[in-house]
Structure 1
Amino acid sequence: MKKPTKATEQRRTHAPAPPSPPPLSIPFPFPFRDLPDLRGEKLREAVEARAGAAMSASSTPVDATGEPIPTSSVLMAASKHIAVRCRPENVAFLNCKKKDPNPEKCLEKGRQVTRCVLSLLKELHQKCPKEMDAYAGCMYYYTNEFDFCRKEQQDFESACPISE
């Protein structure tokens, strides 16, 4: 076994402690802290009742108007569609940012990108909600790892083909 060098030992003894992880945030639109202290089956029923009130008939979170909320898993699931359908808006925004680093100058271009993405998500959610929900749910479960969700991706892309 090699003997550690002085530099290695110094790093071990004087290395700062790793930062603590950020507090856990619950991505669902309902707080668990409002639930009474329940156990087992009653807890599951209470959580499902609470979730059902804040979710649509599908598993995708929706806002008060019934529009899908673009969580990271939803955006990752729709990323190929966004890349194709919102390309002109994204290119215009990036060119604006390249020309002028002042954020105020590109606000309208940013709004156009946001409008494009939200309208696309609404269209996808109406056209193939089951496949989109399955794919976004898989992406959420597997922390946005595409490799674990290839079957759901294939189902989603066959139901909602990527088009311009």
Structure 2
Amino acid sequence: REPRTLKPTKSPLCLPLSISFPFPLLVWVCPSRFPHLHPQISKARSPRDPPAPAAMSTSSTPVDASGEPIPTSSVLMAASKHIAVRCRPENVAFLNCKKKDPNPDKCLEKGRQVTRCVLSLLKELHQKCPKEMDAYAGCMYYYTNEFDFCRKEQQAFEEACPISE
């Protein structure tokens, strides 16, 4: 049975992608049309393909106007082990507060303490080892927060910024 085909746009950057579930389908992937979704993807690739060197070198931890890292999901996932160790008391206090009283207003200050702890930790990590943090967060972004694909970057990050209390 011949796969259904969706016509590509006039962009030369569109590539065919064959999908076989639940029926054969050929779609045209045009990363250039959706740069906000996949800014580093320049061609269709399998998740197991190694990242393109240009894609990984241009990715960096997003920072705000004051130079502090913006806590995107990839940045938070990359720093998750550090957060678990360094912000444990704040997180435990917040969870205990939520357990005692389900009223959200009662635990706002505890939540602010958790947020302050995480933001100060991210700022510290970004100042101490920006290159390794950028590489690890960029890899996590590229592979949609899959740790298994970023073990090399994780090891470099944890060597440059060891996990400590």
TM class by shorter chain equals 0.5 to 0.7
Deviant stretches of 4+, over 4 Å? none
Please state if 1:83 is matched with 2:93.
no
- 1:59 deviation in Å? 1.7
Which letter maps to 1:159?
Answer: A
Unaligned residue ranges in structure 2 (runs of 5+): 1-33, 39-57
Q: Normalising by structure 2, what TM-score?
A: 0.65
Given that 1:60 and 1:69 are in contact with CA atoms closer than 8 Å, whether structure 2 keeps it comes out as yes
Q: Are the counterparts in 2 of residues 58 and 130 from structure 1 also a CA contact under 8 Å? A: no
Q: More strand by proportion, 1 or 2? A: 2
Per-residue CA deviation, residues 76-124 of structure 1 (Å, 9 max, x unaligned), is 0000000000000000000000000000000000000000000000000
Bigger share in helix:
1
How far apart, in 2, do the equivalents of 1:158 and 1:142 lie? Answer: 21
Give the aligned residue type for 2:158: E
Matched with 1:143 is 144
Report the AA paired with residue 36 of structure 2.
I
**TM-score (norm. length: structure 1):** 0.66
State the identity as a percent: 91
Q: Which runs of 5+ in 1 are unaligned?
A: 1-23, 29-56
Q: How does 1:24-103 map to 2 (within 5 A)?
A: 26=36, 59-103=60-104
Distance (Å, rounded) in 1 between the aligned partners of 2:36 and 2:109: 31
CA distance in 1, matches of 2:102, 2:122: 29
Structure 1 residue 131 and structure 2 residue 141: aligned? Answer: no
Shift of 1:25: 9.3
